[in-house]
Amino acid sequence: MSVLVYVEHADGKFKKSVYEAVSYAKAIAEQNNTNLTAISIGAVEATELSALGKYGASKVLSVNNEQLKNFVNQAYASVIAEAANAENANIVVLSNSFSGKGLGPRVAVKLKAGFVDGAIELPVVEGGKFSVKKTAFSGKAFAITEITAENKVIALNPNAFGVKESAGSEISVEDFTPADKASDFAAVVKEIIRATDKVSLPDAEIVVSAGRGLKGPENWGMVEELASLLGAATACSKPVSDADWRPHSEHVGQTGITVSPNLYIAIGISGAIQHLAGISSSKVIVVINKDPEAPFFKVADYGIVGDAFEVVPKLIEALKAHKG
Amino acid sequence: MKILVCISNVPDTTTKITFTNDNTQFNTAGVQYIVNPYDEIALSKAISLCEGGKGSVTVINVGESSTEPTVRKALAIGADDAVRVNAAPRDAYFTAFQIAEYAKSNDFDMILTGRESIDYNGAQVAAMIGEFLDIPSVSIIKKLDYDGTTATIEREIEGGKEILTVTGKFVASCAEGVAEPKIPNMRGIMSARTKPLQVVEAKEVEQLSTIQSFQTPPPRGTVKLVPTEETEKLIDLLHQEAKVI
């Protein structure tokens, strides 16, 4: 047996969340005294592939053909399941990214595997039981889920495990040619549009989020400036995206995106239970609100009771001074 | 056109989540249940696609009889008929299997779900149904246009979006943006009582995972307040104490 990790690329490059998934999968391989194989699908350069050795992969299977150039979950799931069988892998790890969410369940059904999505810790193997901690109730709780099936698929949340380098791993890169299954390609990717100048919200390490306290979409300039200085993603509360001040893709909360950054800065957000659910696994929370009774202060690590229009420009100045 | 929409019965978003029986069971005492908000988006989209006699919308729920008020709510919003698979859902694999089994014997052009349920947040059912039926699935979609044979779909990706087309039957899980949630009107509420709600028994399938216990997030310490006039100190605290910038 072995462990297989799917390494998802964006425009031929791996992101931090992939290195996290590899580090996590390596730790699981060590728990089981076995090796870690990575599978990459699409055009990724050999140097990028062999860099995965640093995080513990000892082999990379690379699938690079025209038909599989773009992500089609049905086809990618077939390839990953085939690779898992070829490698005799009974544990498959992937990132719980947007694509991962469409892919993991299909792989799990193909392998008849128990599936845990949104894993936030290493599995615990005890008394023959294999269990994984995952987020539940949109961040209001955690569920310890036991995978009872022989095969296991785990999707790891971003920023949950961290990137860990492994010493002295030799890595081999091999081409992998999967079986051709024409019926897997009924979905056809037409266009991929990525804003290259923006930090992506779900895996951002720092998030600057603002709410109705900002009074209108025209006041987001300072939020964006603060975010840009911090290398942060911008986010918002539900009322703000409902009012179309900001796009739905920025809505953080129970019915929006759940984030787990190292630093979450909330500006002019009162802290409704639904919003708090989406940010509860943030490591450090800063709240700026003029209402000292705002519920958000109860979960904050640092707070400033003050008007956002006064505090945020000061923060921007202080940050510029700090960065010199 | 026939559309199947999968409905999950979930605690209202304002629910304070607690557990009983040594943290092994969700405490349902006093909890109000609702149609999963994302499923409402999927349902609203399905209803708009079928408006003007262009088709019919069936909702399906895997749950015990206690979920029927939620199923009736979906009928009040505008679904034409409903199916309840009579079983407590064990895990996403179980739920997806039951829905796929029903879909196999009933010809649907598309199956829509919400992006995830707000209780267990699996985001698994749509893609699993796709796999059981061996048809395409697209997860977390933001936009859906359908011309009767081909769907043009926008789905979210990190830092952007992807546009794809799907020809033939498919499954999609819907996020905000796909449709504005419809609110039931009085006529809908009245007619929901008499719309058909079929109950079918669950089929046997192996259980692959099980929840052992729950935990709630540890309480956070008290907030450290920085006076407005010393705003710059916050940067020092984040840099030196919290070490996050």
- Cα–Cα distance, B137 to B143 (Å, whole number): 14
Contact A105 B207 (CB under 8 A): no
Measured distance CA(A220)–CA(A238) in Å, rounded = 15
Strand A141-147, strand B209-215: pairing? antiparallel
The predicted structure's pLDDT at residue A170: 85
- Enumerate the H helices of B112-226 as residue ranges: 125-133, 186-192
What six digits make up the tokens of B46? 């399905």
B207, B149 in Cβ contact below 8 A? Answer: no
Report how far residue A92's alpha carbon sits from residue A161's, in angstroms, rounded to the nearest whole number: 16
Give residue B112's region: left, alpha or beta (phi > 0; psi -120 to 50). beta
Q: What is the pLDDT of residues A111-149, one digit of tens each?
A: 999 999 999 999 999 998 999 999 999 888 999 999 999
Helix axes A98-111, A73-86, angle to 10 degrees: 50
The set of residues, in sequence order, having a beta carbon less than 8 Å from that of B10 and lying 6+ positions away, is B33, B34, B35, B36, B117, B118, B119
Report the alpha-carbon distance of residue B209 to residue A146 in Å, rounded.
6
Residue A77 has pLDDT above 90, yes or no: yes
Class of domain B2-217: alpha beta
How close B173 gets to chain A, by Cα (Å)? 9
CA atoms of B115 and B172, how far apart (whole Å): 8
Q: How confident is the model at residue A168 (pLDDT cuts 50, 70, 90)?
A: low
Residue A39's pLDDT band, with cuts at 50, 70 and 90, is very high
Residues from chain B that touch A187, judged by Cβ atoms under 8 A, are 136, 138, 164-166, 170
Where is A36: in which H helix or E strand? strand A36-41
Distance between CA B94 and CA B100 in Å, rounded? 10
Rounded CA gap, A241 and A275, in Å? 12
DSSP-derived 3-state class of residue B21:
coil
How is residue B237 annotated by DSSP?
I
What's the CA gap between B20 and B4, in Å, rounded? Answer: 35
∠A208-A211-A213 over CA atoms, to 5°?
120
Reduce the DSSP state of residue A23 to 3 states and report it. Answer: helix
Q: Identify the band that residue A32 occupies on the pLDDT scale cut at 50, 70 and 90.
A: very high
Across the interface, which of A98, A106, A149 has its CB nearest the CB of B140? A98
| Residue A194, marked binder | no
DSSP state of A167: T
The DSSP symbol for B208 reads: -
User: How far apart (Å, rounded) are the C-alpha atoms in residues A48 and A159?
Assistant: 21
Residues of chain B positioned with their CB less than 8 A from the CB of A104: 124, 127
Task: Supply the DSSP symbol for A55.
Answer: G
Domain boundary assignment for chain A:
2-185, 206-323
Distance from the Cα of B79 to chain A's closest Cα (Å) equals 22
pLDDT at A98: 95
CB within 8 Å of B73: residues ≥ 6 apart:
B34, B35, B184, B192
Q: B109 is written with which tokens?
A: 């052009």
Residue A183 among known ligand-binding residues: no
Architecture of the domain spanning A206-323: 3-Layer(aba) Sandwich (3.40)
Residue of chain B whose alpha carbon sits nearest to that of A191: B163
Provide the residue ranges of all domains of chain B, joining segments of one domain with +: 2-217
Q: Which residues of A touch B216 (CB under 8 A)?
A: 140-142
> What is the predicted pLDDT for the residue at A324?
84
Q: Retrieve residue B138's tokens.
A: 């697209």
Q: Say whether A246 counts as a known binding-site residue.
A: no
Contacts of A36 (CB under 8 A, 6+ apart): A2, A3, A4, A5, A22, A25, A26, A29, A56, A57, A58, A59
Q: What is A226-289 written as a DSSP string? A: HHHHHTPEEEE-HHHHHTTSS-GGGBBSTTSB----SEEEEES----HHHHHHHTT-SEEEEEE
8-state DSSP, B131: H
What is the spatial distance between Cα B13 and Cα B17, in angstroms, rounded to a whole number?
10
Instruction: Show the tokens assigned to A49.
Output: 């592939």
Residue A10: helix, strand or coil by DSSP? Answer: strand
Question: Which of A277-281, A318-322, B76-80 has the lowest average pLDDT?
Answer: A277-281
Residues of chain B below pLDDT 70 = none
- Taking the Cβ of residue A315 and every Cβ of chain B, the question of whether any pair is shorter than 8 Å is answered with yes
What are the phi and psi torsion angles at A297 (to 5°)? -65, -25
Which chain B residues touch A188 with a CB distance below 8 Å? Answer: 164-166
The DSSP line for A197-227 is: TS--STT-SEEEEE-GGG-SGGGTHHHHHHH
Q: What is the mean pLDDT of residues A198-209?
A: 92
Find the farthest-apart pair of alpha carbons in chain A and give their distance in angstroms, rounded: 62
CA diameter of chain B:
68
Among residues A109, A105, A85, A99, which one has the least CA distance to residue A37? A85
Indicate yes or no: CB of A149 within 8 angstroms of CB of B206. yes
CATH architecture of A2-185: 3-Layer(aba) Sandwich (3.40)
- The three-class DSSP label of residue B160 is strand
Give yes or no for residue A201 having a pLDDT over 70: yes
For chain A, what percentages of helix, strand and coil (3-state, to nearest 5) are there? 35, 30, 35
A269: annotated binding-site residue? yes
Would you tell me which residues 65-94 of chain A have a C-beta closer than 8 angstroms to some C-beta of chain B? Answer: 71-74, 77
Token output for B102: 């029903």
Is A41 among the annotated ligand-binding positions?
no
Nearest to A255 among B118, B123, B224 (CB): B118
